[in-house]
A and B are shown apart, each in its own frame.
Chain A
Amino acid sequence: DAKTTQPPSMDCAEGRAANLPCNHSTISGNEYVYWYRQIHSQGPQYIIHGLKNNETNEMASLIITEDRKSSTLILPHATLRDTAVYYCIVSPGHTNDYKLSFGAGTTVTVRA
């Protein structure tokens, strides 16, 4: 699996957009970008995933650069409940590979 690099921590203000970067410069053509988050010792929660195109759902938006070497997760209006560790993961999206490898992630603190 391709490795990812994320900043260890970041702060953002409540109500503002939070932009979380992820570098995955060795990503291969069949690998998807996944984002999960983990709120204080709970089980990780799926947020969003994408292959090439930008994606949006009710939780967040995912922007993937054209060369696919980096991506940004956007939380449009951060709330205190978005304080969590955010994990960026790349993994093949085919049925022969079932494993997701979690790194250290980015600890996001949303401040009032």
Chain B
Amino acid sequence: NAGVTQTPKFQVLKTGQSMTLQCAQDMNHNSMYWYRQDPGMGLRLIYYSASEGTTDKGEVPNGYNVSRLNKREFSLRLESAAPSQTSVYFCASSASRVGANVLTFGAGSRLTVL
């Protein structure tokens, strides 16, 4: 199984440009998440989707939008990229069963905003 697949793996943007990070999972998981990780720091939750058709803000949602396209896919959009959004972005998914919210992560998307 592929697990969680993120595209692109690397991207360089200029300030003000827009782009969408794509995430797909093949584990039939209900919940999906977007985190960002800045150098030397832990992960911070941007947005999450508890189930198909719902999305909620995490710790650092400003400057981002998300779409839960279907059960498999959860995209993250930067409408007007800023240098502060230079980071590594991780998508994750989980089955969200009671007592075991185990996340499976993708390999990450490395974004640089100049």
A91 on interface, CB distance cutoff 8 Å: yes
A97, B89: Cα distance in complex, Å:
22
CB distance from B96 to the nearest CB of A (A): 6
Number of A-B contacts (CB under 8 A): 65
CB distance from B61 to the nearest CB of A (A): 12
For the complex, count residues of B whose C-beta is within 8 A of A.
30
Nearest residue (CB) in B for A85 is B42
From B44, B88, B100, B108, give the contact of A49 (CB < 8 A).
B100
Per-position contact with B for A82-112: 1 when CB-CB < 8 Å, else 0? Answer: 0000010001011101111111110000000
A interface, over-half SS = loop
A100, B102: Cα distance in complex, Å:
9
The range of chain A's interface size is 20 to 34
Q: Of A10-18, A20-28, A38-46, A59-67, which binds chain B?
A: A38-46
Residues on A with beta carbons closer than 8 Å to the beta carbon of B48 = 98-99
